[in-house]
Structure 1
Amino acid sequence: MGLQHSPSGDQYVITHGDSRAVITRVGATLRSYTVAGHDVIDGFDLDERATDGRGQVLAPWPNRLTDGRYQYGGRDCQAPLNEVERHDAIHGLVRWLDWTLVDRAPALAALACALRPQPGYEWRLDLQVVYALGDAGLTVTFQAVNLSRESAPFGVGFHPYLTLGTPTIDGLDLMIPGAVASGSHDFQEPHGIGSIELDHAFGDLAVGPDGRSVARLTDQAHERSVELWVDQAYRYLMVYTGDLVAEPTRRRTAVAIEPMTCPPDAFRTGEDLIELEPGKAWQGSWGIRSVQA
């Protein structure tokens, strides 16, 4: 399929050494990322659109917003329900918009999006995401600027599905540097996934001396790992074992480890919600690297 006919629009390829990533115009989505010819994320093909959130940017809120309804700044807001069976609004408003390429280099692509006031979100934000490859892997830096005259509610997340190329994730080990509220799943030490089903937000992330929190998926049999790190701007990791993805043959073949600034429903609860003042900017970074186990 020619690029002009791709559902995800223009494709921006960046490379560094044996690493290669593809970012799409639609949604500024990370469509693929490979190292030495091995897939690091389970993305989607040129002739497909993103399904199940694959590689997408989730703003101005990540995850689910119950009933799509919230109150902020004296406003009663109703976002469109795009997950009808659960009666919620999921993953924000920018996943299907065309983003504009604003900077380009062999190992870097930066895209921007103007989020305008609309039903469900009455504020104006300028958004920019920079994808950069280097010796330490892929780094993703996101910035939001509030161009409204009043404070704006804000949260952001990303939705990469990590893979080690195995037919299933059941034989892999997972380490997540945080805990879920119920305490029912503890992966703070490496733990075999087995038949465990996860669709949980992990918070209280442990921070290393470099100021980062690191999650790891490991294939002990082939001595390979993939790590996802977040800086302290991202306080949660949503972990999803893909049990309900749309295509049955892709269920439990990858683990979505999703950096998030806030937990689900933050627009309703206010928990760790970013309240971006007029003219102010917010910025955070996360990344992925392939390592030997």
Structure 2
Amino acid sequence: MTVLPTGEQFTLRCAGSEATVVEVGGGLRSYHAAGRALVDGYGEHEMAGNVRGHVLVPWPNRLADGCYTWDGEEHRTPLSEPEQANAIHGLVRFSAWHVVDRSSDGITLEHLLHPQPGYPFALRLQVAYELSTEGLRVTTTAVNEGAVALPYGEGHHPYLAAGPGLRVDDCVLESPGRTRLETDGRGIPTGSVPVAGTPFDLRGGRAVGDLVIDHAFTDLERDADGLAWVRFTGPDGRGAALWLDSAYSHLQLFTGDVVPEPRRRQGLAVEPMTCPPNAFATGESVIRLEPGESTTATWGLAPLG
């Protein structure tokens, strides 16, 4: 039997909606609801290019030079973005995950990240996907299985679909960030600025047009339930909403300008993150997990229109 690039495929179904989760990386490959694709995913015979649907653990985004200091000891991880001398998006994107619970509309995948050079810690991860009439809910849990405290950050990397024949340029984007992180040429934050009065103030919704976005945002506006919302809609008002709970302090938006054609600007990456880029180096919002401790974060997707 030919091995698929992302391993075994797990399809969830509920009331006419369907989502496919994969063994390799434990990520979301596709999600269809209300008769259309909500994520710009990939085929079962493809690799997950451009980080599509990946789980980003134990850090999201970039780590400059792959270096950080933890409890007085310096660590150096492999440079997975060598052209910029960065380590990017953690260590589990191409690892195999296994099923610990499954039903017709839900699945929980698990991966044990063993100690390794640059991250000498034991971390047990579970990602639970639940499909309902309200949408898709994704819950990530991490447990420190080692004997010493460890640093932890987490993110996800879905691309919201612009729609058949559309590009990001044709869509309206509403996003909750009050503050945008400025970055250098390597994508490493150099400071932060309020979005008010700038093209990056997306709180009231605006046509994307030719706006180029590859930035992290924080100080997220939230509803009465503590959820922050991103809404991405086409000219017909249909689209997708992504929500994230209070565990996610940051949100990366990426209009896909460096993605090769024909996928360039075809989907909008919306990345919930528990910490900003380069957090392991700066310490900002890094979660300290003592032996036996755990942490959980939840986000979700729902159709609009």
Range of TM-score over shorter length: over 0.9
User: Where do 1:31-50 residues align within 5 Å?
Assistant: 31-50=29-48
| Conserved? CA contact 1:164–1:224, under 8 Å | no
For residue 106 of structure 2, what is the amino acid of its counterpart?
L
| Conserved? CA contact 2:162–2:268, under 8 Å | no
In the alignment, what sits opposite 1:152?
150
For residue 241 of structure 2, what is the amino acid of its counterpart?
E
| Conserved? CA contact 1:157–1:261, under 8 Å | yes
For residue 39 of structure 1, what is the amino acid of its counterpart?
A
CA shift for structure 1 position 149: 1.6
Q: 1:115 aligns with which of 109, 113, 116?
A: 113
User: Where do 1:139-218 residues align within 5 Å?
Assistant: 139-165=137-163, 166-178=165-177, 179-180=179-180, 181-182=192-193, 183=195, 184=198, 185-218=200-233
**Aligned-partner Cα distance in 1 for 2:146–2:58:** 14
| Conserved? CA contact 1:240–1:257, under 8 Å | yes
| Conserved? CA contact 1:59–1:156, under 8 Å | yes
* TM-score, length-scaled by structure 2: 0.92
CA shift for structure 1 position 151: 1.3
For residue 107 of structure 1, what is the amino acid of its counterpart?
D
For residue 230 of structure 1, what is the amino acid of its counterpart?
L
| Conserved? CA contact 1:22–1:33, under 8 Å | yes
In the alignment, what sits opposite 1:237?
251
| Root mean square deviation of aligned Cα | 1.1
- 1:5-49: CA deviations, max 9, x gaps? 211000000011111000000000101001133111011111111
In the alignment, what sits opposite 1:63?
61
Q: 2:25 aligns with which of 24, 27, 34?
A: 27
CA shift for structure 1 position 150: 1.7
DSSP 3-state at the match of 2:119: coil
**Aligned-partner Cα distance in 1 for 2:75–2:16:** 47
Q: 2:83 aligns with which of 75, 82, 85?
A: 85
Q: Percent identity, aligned pairs only?
A: 43
**Aligned-partner Cα distance in 2 for 1:119–1:150:** 16
Structure 2 unmatched runs, 5+: 181-191
| Alignment length (residue pairs) | 288
* Runs of 4+ deviating beyond 3 Å: none
In the alignment, what sits opposite 1:103?
101
DSSP 3-state at the match of 1:70: strand
In the alignment, what sits opposite 2:188?
none
User: Where do 1:252-271 residues align within 5 Å?
Assistant: 252-271=265-284
- 1:231-260: CA deviations, max 9, x gaps? 000111100000001x32111111000000
1:75 aligns with 2:73: yes
Larger deviation, residues 180-189 vs 269-278: 180-189
DSSP 3-state at the match of 1:170: helix
**Aligned-partner Cα distance in 1 for 2:282–2:208:** 31
In the alignment, what sits opposite 1:291?
304
CA shift for structure 1 position 207: 1.4
CA shift for structure 1 position 74: 2.0
For residue 94 of structure 2, what is the amino acid of its counterpart?
W
**Aligned-partner Cα distance in 1 for 2:202–2:162:** 18
For residue 204 of structure 2, what is the amino acid of its counterpart?
E
- 1:134-153: CA deviations, max 9, x gaps? 12100000000011222110
In the alignment, what sits opposite 2:12?
14
1:52 aligns with 2:65: no
| Conserved? CA contact 1:143–1:284, under 8 Å | yes
**Aligned-partner Cα distance in 2 for 1:171–1:94:** 34
DSSP 3-state at the match of 1:248: coil
| Conserved? CA contact 1:218–1:224, under 8 Å | yes
In the alignment, what sits opposite 2:262?
249
